[in-house]
Amino acid sequence: MQIKDAGSLRIAGTALIVALLLTTNCGEEQSPGDVDRLPLSPDADRFDMTVFLDEDTVAWGDELITLGGGRLRLLPRDGEELELNWRDTGSAGFRLTTREPLDLTGFREEGAISMEISLDTFSLSGLSVGVSCGDGCLRSFSLNSYLYDLADQVSERHIDVPDWHRISVPLSCFVREADDLSEVSVPLLLRAGGEGAIRVRNMSWDRQAGTSIDCPHYSKAAVTPAPLQEHWSRSWWMDRYRQKLEESGRESARLVFLGNSITQGWEDQGREVWEEYYADRNALNLGFSGDRTENVLWRLQHRHVDGLDPELVVLMVGTNNTGHRRDPPGSTAHGIEMIVEELKTRLPESRILLLAIFPRGYDPDHEMRQLNNEVNKRISGFADRDRVYYMDINEVFLDEEGQLPEEIMPDYLHPNGQGYRLWAEAMEPMMRQLLQEDEQIR
């Protein structure tokens, strides 16, 4: 065995035996579009594999690979099996790339990405599969919800040996109609986060999904209620949900803020401004970091505003639909519309102040800011000025050239203390009227 040191990289020799079966009985190679199953192998003539940990990458060479001082280990096992161990990371795993682009359009309609997987440790892990879909396009799908349930079952049975499960992820879960599958350069990306250990084998594209993961069509994800299932939220999200149900004084809340991390940030960077503007108004903060529209819907449908009767709900959500999945603006807007309707039903006496999604990205042309702008154009039409009011305060955060100053949002997404003060000051005149502290809105 040879060991080669390159910083934190260690490569030791061990063979991985995986075959790509893309030949006819006569030994003639078939096009991927002509087969029902396309096995994925780093050893095949068609593919190369790259292993990555955050920004560090190394080419696979049929050998043990260790990155980041042991934070990522990829180890070949018997036959086709790969063992992946990772810790303290937001992004680790491997990608298969083609030496020549593949036309996989024949798999689009009913196809799936499949593999066998065995979970060693997964309770605080995250895992997603992805595929390229044209220039600068990469679609991915989180396996977390399914794998968390599976990990619980394995734990309850006290299984000490690999327990293999075949999973198929329908392409309809994440590949969109306009995506180009005619020249696929990355047929498989497996990305992990948090801390965990798994084994995978028999990875493939299948023309028929067969028994597959139950997931909504990608166009419905934003409106399909679900709790947040991310490796970085597992330790606190459900606890915060329960704590907010029992928070002292919630029934007397006159004002409710509902949203994602930008709203939750009133408890941190915005705390001083919150005390100044909202403490005397008996305000309740129902902001949850990372929430997308479907997560807010799930909370509303699971008692999060039950027993409340506020005069006003301040709602802002949607930027994580943009940032996490690049949801189409229409999908995000539909999710927000469903939240508004849910609030109107569950809080029939409350007014709703719907805020435009805040700007993100330094430059006006930033892709995600443009997506948010398109969402805002759509949701502005939800205002009826009876129950629902719309307000766009985004200009207060921007300079004359439309750029987002670091002094207001250091990460070009989340306000600091100064940003929260600008938010409160800009919203105050409308809020005073909606809370009937000034003369009524006409």
> pLDDT, tens digit, for every residue of 385-419?
999 999 999 999 999 999 999 999 999 999 999 99
pLDDT at 154: 74
Residue 3: predicted pLDDT: 31
Whether 11 and 146 map to the same domain: the answer is: yes
pLDDT at 78 over 70: yes
For β-strands 9-13 and 37-39, DSSP reports them as unpaired
pLDDT classification of 26: cutoffs 50, 70, 90: very low
CATH number at residue 65: 2.60.120.430
At 163, is the pLDDT very low, low, confident or very high (cuts 50, 70, 90)? confident
State yes or no: pLDDT of 49 exceeds 50.
yes
Query: Domain for residue 228, yes or no?
Result: no
Q: Is residue 224 part of a domain?
A: no
Q: Using CA atoms, how far apart are residues 49 and 248, in angstroms rounded to an integer?
A: 53
Q: What percent of the chain has pLDDT over 90?
A: 81
DSSP 189-252: EEEEEEEEEEEEEEEEEESS--S------GGGGGGS------TTTTTTHHHHHHHHHS-TTGGG
Domain that holds residue 207: 3-215
Going by C-alpha positions, the residue among 35, 89, 49 that lies closest to residue 67 is 89
The one-letter amino acid code at 148 reads: Y
Residues 165 and 257 in one domain: no
Judgement on whether residues 265 and 362 belong to the same structural domain of the protein: yes
CB of 168 within 8 A of CB of 113? yes
Residue 139 falls in which region: left (phi positive, over 0), alpha (psi -120 to 50) or beta = beta
What's the rounded Cα separation, in Å, for the pair 133 and 77? Answer: 31
Task: Compute the average pLDDT of residues 375-383.
Answer: 98
- Give pLDDT, residue 35: 82
Q: What is the pLDDT of residue 45?
A: 78
Average pLDDT over residues 207-232: 91
Residue 287 has pLDDT above 60, yes or no: yes
For the chain, what is the domain count? 2
- Report yes or no: 227 and 148 within 8 Å, Cβ to Cβ: no
Give SS3 for 271: helix
Distance, CA of 262 to chain centre:
16
pLDDT score at 15? 31
What residues form DSSP beta bridges with 73?
A: 66, 85
Q: In this structure, are 270 and 151 located in the same domain? A: no
Residue 26 buriedness (CB in 10 A; 0-12 / 13-18 / 19+): exposed
- Compare 210 and 338 and report the one with higher pLDDT: 338
State the pLDDT confidence band at 152, using cuts at 50, 70 and 90: confident
* Claim to verify: residue 12 and residue 136 sit in the same structural domain: yes
Length of the chain: 442
Question: Is the domain of 304 the same as that of 351?
Answer: yes
Tokens of 334: 């539909």
Q: Is the pLDDT of residue 4 over 90?
A: no
Question: Can you give the pLDDT at residue 113?
Answer: 96
Quick: pLDDT tens for 298-311.
999 999 999 999 99
129/268 Cα distance (integer angstroms):
34
Mean pLDDT value of segment 164-176: 93
Residues 174 and 274 reside in one and the same domain: no
* More reliable by pLDDT, 60 or 197: 197
Query: Could you please report the per-residue DSSP string of 55-90?
Result: TEEEE--SEEEEEGGGTEEEEE-STT-EEEEEEEEE
Same domain as 330, residue 369: yes
Is a pLDDT exceeding 70 seen at residue 369? yes
Q: pLDDT-derived band of residue 373, with 50, 70 and 90 as boundaries?
A: very high
Q: Quick one: pLDDT at residue 34?
A: 66
318, part of any domain: yes
Residue 247 structure tokens: 């928070």
pLDDT greater than 80 at residue 28: no
Task: Tell me if 229 is assigned to some domain.
Answer: no
Contact residues for 18 (Cβ-Cβ < 8 A; gap 6+): 39, 41, 42, 43, 44, 79, 80
Last residue of a domain, one of 215, 248, 278: 215
Are both 297 and 397 inside the same structural domain? yes
227 domain-assigned = no
| CATH number of the domain enclosing 311 | 3.40.50.1110
Region 132-151: what's the mean pLDDT?
A: 93
Q: Do both 147 and 248 map to the same domain?
A: no
**So what's the pLDDT on residue 208?**
87
Residues 225-280 have pLDDT tens digits of 999 999 999 999 999 999 999 999 999 999 999 999 999 999 999 999 999 999 99
Distances (CA, A) of 189 to 49, 91, 130: 10, 11, 5
Determine the Cα–Cα distance for residues 275 and 254; give it in Å rounded to an integer.
15
Residue 84 confidence (pLDDT)? 96
- At 201, the pLDDT band (50, 70, 90 cuts) reads very high
Measure Cα distances from 80 to 74, 190, 195, 435 in Å.
13, 16, 23, 64
Q: What letter represents residue 5's amino acid?
A: D
Q: Tokens 């903060």 correspond to what residue?
A: 285
442 in a domain, yes or no?
Answer: no
Strand, coil or helix: what is 172? helix
- Among residues 195, 292, 307, 210, the alpha carbon closest in space to that of 256 is found at 307
Q: What per-residue confidence (pLDDT) applies to 245? A: 97
| Confidence category of residue 151, pLDDT binned at 50, 70, 90 | confident
51 occurs within a structural domain? yes
Q: What is the mean pLDDT of residues 48-75?
A: 92
Q: How far is CA 93 from its chain centroid?
A: 17
Q: Which pLDDT does position 159 carry in this prediction? A: 61
**Distance, CA of 74 to CA of 67 (rounded, Å):** 9
Helices 329-346, 293-300: axis angle to 10 degrees equals 20
**Residue 440 pLDDT more than 70?**
no
User: Is-contact 314 255, C-beta < 8 A?
Assistant: yes
Asked if the structure places residue 172 within a domain, the reply is yes
* Helix (H/G/I), strand (E/B), else coil: 369: helix
For residue 33, is pLDDT > 70? no
Are residues 211 and 291 located together in one domain of the fold? no
Percent of the chain residues topping a pLDDT of 70? 89
pLDDT of residue 72: 96
Domain shared by 164 and 256, yes or no? no
pLDDT at 30: 54
Give the least confident one: 11-20, 62-71, 74-83. Answer: 11-20
Sequence-distant (6+) residues with CB within 8 A of 72 are 51, 53, 65, 66, 84, 85, 86, 89, 92
In which residue are the tokens 């734990």 written?
155
Instruction: Identify the pLDDT of residue 32.
Output: 64
Q: Is the pLDDT of residue 21 over 80?
A: no
254 and 311 Cβ atoms separated by less than 8 Å = yes
When the pLDDT of each residue in the chain is averaged and rounded to a whole number, the result is 90
